[in-house]
Structure 1
Amino acid sequence: MKQKPVRKEFAVIGLGRFGGNLCKELVSQGVDVLALDKSLERVQEFSSLVSHAAELDAIDEESLKTVGISNFNCVIISLGEGIQSSILATLILKEMGIEQVWVKAQDEYHEKVLRKIGADKIIHPERDMAIRIANHIVSDKVTDYIELSDKYSIVEIIASKKIAGKTLSELDIRAKYNCSVIAIKRSSNNILISPPADTKIIVTDVLIAIGSNNNLEHFENEGV
């Protein structure tokens, strides 16, 4: 008998611009969301959208326990009122045993402190968006870019006439450039996940590749 997949539940603390948009996106993907903010006005704004919403102070441990925060797989902290609140909230949540605590950082110093106290993922919305836009502007081949770490990324690269008509096996991208094509966008409604080696590239394809930044740049410049 197959086990039912575990339903992921997320809590978002801080319903400002980033936290609010994150809630909307998660809900649109069918995810259960607990939305928390110390502003009653913001809580009321999202109460009809998310599964649950509550007004509370993120650094009040008893209040967090009351709303059942420990039942959530992942908690995203998006607080804008200085760095102290997000640091204290992170400490409290990690001490409560939350599996994944993601935190929006305001700057590099904030990030260093968050990493030291156990934050599982640091989010820089403005910086990450700036990087994606810069890569899109500079390159006429790269249509999107996701930074996985300081050294590794996922990029979407437009297939050129140079590789059109060739199979992935013939291109041998992994051996030549040490990066991997994990999917191919053939159209908005047709995405090939883990395409087989005999997949033939057509000129309108967008290759989704993963690898080190140096290897991806080499592939972009020489391989497509």
Structure 2
Amino acid sequence: MKKEFAVIGLGRFGGSICRTLAEQGVEVMGIDIDEERVDEYSTIASHAVVANTTDEKALKSLGIRNFDHVIVAIGDDIQASILTTIMLKELGVKKVTVKAQNDYHEKVLVKIGADHVVHPERDMGKRIANNIISNSVLDYLELSDEHSIVEIVASEKIHGHSILQLDVRAKYGINIVAIKRQDEIIVSPQANETIYEQDILIVIGADSDINRFERKVLS
């Protein structure tokens, strides 16, 4: 059976999620208190409804407990975000992902049972900052406070070296999990795989180890 999703809050963040899910052919219901936003997504989402999700009766009438995953993307109204999350969990929604405005908001969301909390503005800020400060970092995805997956452009300095010769796991404590080479993607490359200049290395590890690898091997 196909999973069904609901997105509560059709602002820039929630609207983007709703649109992307719909483009992937996924069943998604868009919910917002603003009628104009709902009208905008009426031809995009499988269903788009006007509802106040802090009203338990409104949530029940939508059959919200039947959705596999609900994303709470409510904008600046932290109270509405918290109340909605509480009711979703009380109604038995299997998975609830919530957008947090700040660290305090996140702590509350975790305590009341949110399954996953995201900070889109903060996380995007970190990605942009990492891209700005390094010419070799193309993209950055935070896995935890101290670990990330990073796309790094191979420099001339390591051109022609194999993964075994670089010995990145032993020397730097990181792993090269894939290599992008033009239109080709090499997943779980072998130790004898040769790295060429302009290859994109997808690296996973502790932030401090990735930074050390970048400074010593790529700069």
Q: Distance in 2 between matches of 1:81 and 1:134?
A: 24
1:93 correspondence with 2:88: yes
1:106 to 84, 101, 104: 101
C-alpha displacement at 1:170, in angstroms?
Answer: 2.5
Q: Distance in 2 between matches of 1:49 and 1:115?
A: 31
For residues 60-119 of structure 1, what are the alpha-carbon distances to aligned partners after superposition, in whole Å with 9 as ceiling and x for unaligned?
223223323223222111112421100011111112222321111112211111111121
Q: Which residue of 1 aligns with 2:199?
A: 205
- Structure 1: which 5+ residue stretches go unaligned? 1-5
2:148 to 150, 153, 158: 153
Q: Which residue of 2 aligns with 1:163?
A: 158
Q: Distance in 2 between matches of 1:171 and 1:29?
A: 39
Contact 2:76 2:101 in 1 (8 A): no
- Give TM-score scaled by structure 2 length: 0.92
Q: Which residue of 2 aligns with 1:11?
A: 6
Q: Which residue of 2 aligns with 1:218?
A: 212
Structure 2 counterparts to residues 63-142 of structure 1, below 5 A: 63-142=58-137
Q: Which residue of 1 aligns with 2:36?
A: 41
Query: Cα RMSD (Å) of the superposition?
Result: 1.7
Residue type matched to 1:176 in 2? K
Question: What SS does the corresponding residue of 1:204 show, helix, strand or coil?
Answer: coil
Q: Distance in 1 between matches of 2:184 and 2:28?
A: 29
After superposing the two structures, state which structure 1 stretch, 7-16 or 83-92, moved more.
7-16
- Structure 2: which 5+ residue stretches go unaligned? none
Residue type matched to 2:190 in 1? P
C-alpha displacement at 1:159, in angstroms?
Answer: 0.5
Q: Distance in 2 between matches of 1:142 and 1:8?
A: 35
1:194 correspondence with 2:164: no
- Give TM-score scaled by structure 1 length: 0.90
Q: 1:182 to 1:19 in 2, by over 3 A?
A: same
Question: What SS does the corresponding residue of 2:96 show, helix, strand or coil?
Answer: strand
C-alpha displacement at 1:44, in angstroms?
Answer: 1.4
For residues 143-202 of structure 1, what are the alpha-carbon distances to aligned partners after superposition, in whole Å with 9 as ceiling and x for unaligned?
111111111111111111122222223322222211111221212x42222223332211
Q: Distance in 2 between matches of 1:28 and 1:122?
A: 24
Q: Distance in 2 between matches of 1:31 and 1:183?
A: 28
Q: 1:25 to 1:216 in 2, by over 3 A?
A: same
